[in-house]
A and B are shown apart, each in its own frame.
Chain A
């Protein structure tokens, strides 16, 4: 049975770690990799494929939206599922995200339940394959 692999990108390392622990509790998720910025994330993407990328909107240097834009430009990742997390949502950001094929946004602060709800909308986490 194939397990999902997830990439978590957030400049707040503690959030990455907490999200990783929550994701690993699901039997259907086999591999969680974390990155603290867009550059590290791109490196990880070169090495392996991911079923889902969870990325924070507000990051220094390259923002989450810029990262996703780059992602969409490459063939390999043009349709990878993306969950955007954000501390403050503006109308403009939402429109851009939607244009970039982001189907859902998770607003901070969030708890485990909300996180897993949104994740399962993007990748099937139910126990029957």
Chain B
């Protein structure tokens, strides 16, 4: 045994050997330097735990010692701050108690792993990361201001001419009116008024371009099937869930839930919510670890609900207001940036939706995303990039087709024109929209599972709505158009496969008819 004890002196770790009553049998050289306890003091110690002070109460030496002695197994403590007796110096250590057989009995090696240096570095790292976050925040803000600054400079330059013309023309009108001779100046007066109008339209166009500029390309929306979007998200996080033995359920009330959204961005939001849910469940470690993702629509089909439910650690009442703030996180430094929920909520807002948090019954959280139905969504998106001041009228076309690829095709064909496409995959919802919004033309796929074109047209006409209707169909169903032409006042037919020109020709026929 003494050979072994000699070996202990060579070790870097401070080590104390005690018996089952914690009486010190031996200690190595490093222990004396570490603890600053003199050999004389150490001789007087009855129990080791007498000199071992857990400053932050994280290490209960008595408890772990009895665990080691009762089962004669190695026990590791958690990290904690300790002091020795009356030494003022404190260290951050991990305590390891190793039972060793000595003749008939057991003795216990108490090893101290000094983590003070690492802890110090880690604390400094935390401070630096926090400062970095602040600098980043300022940078992002400054960058935004710079962009706005540049944008504004450009815009005010472009607007300066039409403003001068409008202002000058108004003053000319004042002069003409005051001269008392309106008849003699009638041409100039007309010209001045026309100048004012065209200047205003010019300014209008500039602000419109500004609006369109704000919509970056990666924010572009299209008609997507949320079922497949949610499935992709589940596939992405599936492995992490499996690894942590957390059940991941998907409940969808319908086979096809179509939305007008940016697929990648919605996926980004879902992955963020699912990962948060996973972390919460792992942290709380309930008996049945489960996260549920659900997809549903409201009864009238006007709203879409995506829910992420977990039975994890939940969100404390005091911070529920802050969780969507940027940089807010309850996680340890290094794990997560705190941007997830904030970005997610921005993304959902840009889809004219909302995201809220509620407490789950019992324990955990429910995050609910509400998105407007596809018809309202595409209508809102279009409305925000047009202007109603323009002399050129915007055409609003309601396109009804159960294939989202057709809707997306229409969307992309007309994205730069003054034509607004409102897409729908559901005839019943489309009828709903027709009741509420003013639409210039309805283009309907003839063969839809829920109802065919004739049935749709009949319902519209029966309601007294004389909006121009165009059938979209393949060559072999062209006869239906001819049959319904007079009967249901169908303006024209677009034959699949179609081109942009064939659509424009149909539109000309339809709108041309109803022009005064």
Contacts and interface: CB of A to CB of B under 8 A. Distances in A.
A19 B171 CA distance: 11
A107 B172 CA distance: 20
Nearest to B155: A88
Interface size classification for chain A: 10 to 19
A111 interface: yes
A15 interface: yes
B168 A87 contact: no
A18 B172 contact: yes
Interface in A86-116: 87-88, 107-112
Interface in B132-185: 153, 156-161, 163-165, 167-169, 171-172, 175
Contacts of B160: 87-88, 107-109
A112 B171 contact: yes
B195 interface: yes
Contacts of A109: 159-161, 163-164, 167
Interface string A31-43: 0000000000000
A15 B160 CA distance: 11
B171 A110 contact: no
A123 interface: no
A112 B156 contact: no
A22 B174 CA distance: 12
Interface string A4-36: 000000001011001101100100000000000
B161 A15 contact: yes
A22 B168 contact: yes
Given A87-B156, A88-B153, A111 B161 contact: no
A108 B175 contact: no
B179 to A, nearest CB: 11
Contact of A18 (B157, B158, B169): B169
A108 B168 contact: no
Contact of B157 (A25, A88, A111): A88
Contacts of A12: 161, 164-165
Contact of B195 (A14, A88, A107, A110): A14
Given A87-B161, A107-B160, 15 more contacts: A12-B165, A15-B161, A15-B165, A18-B164, A19-B168, A25-B175, A87-B157, A87-B158, A87-B160, A88-B160, A108-B160, A109-B163, A110-B164, A111-B167, A111-B168
8 tightest A-B contacts by CB?
A87-B160, A109-B163, A18-B168, A108-B160, A88-B157, A109-B164, A87-B157, A14-B165
Interface of B: 153, 156-161, 163-165, 167-169, 171-172, 175, 195
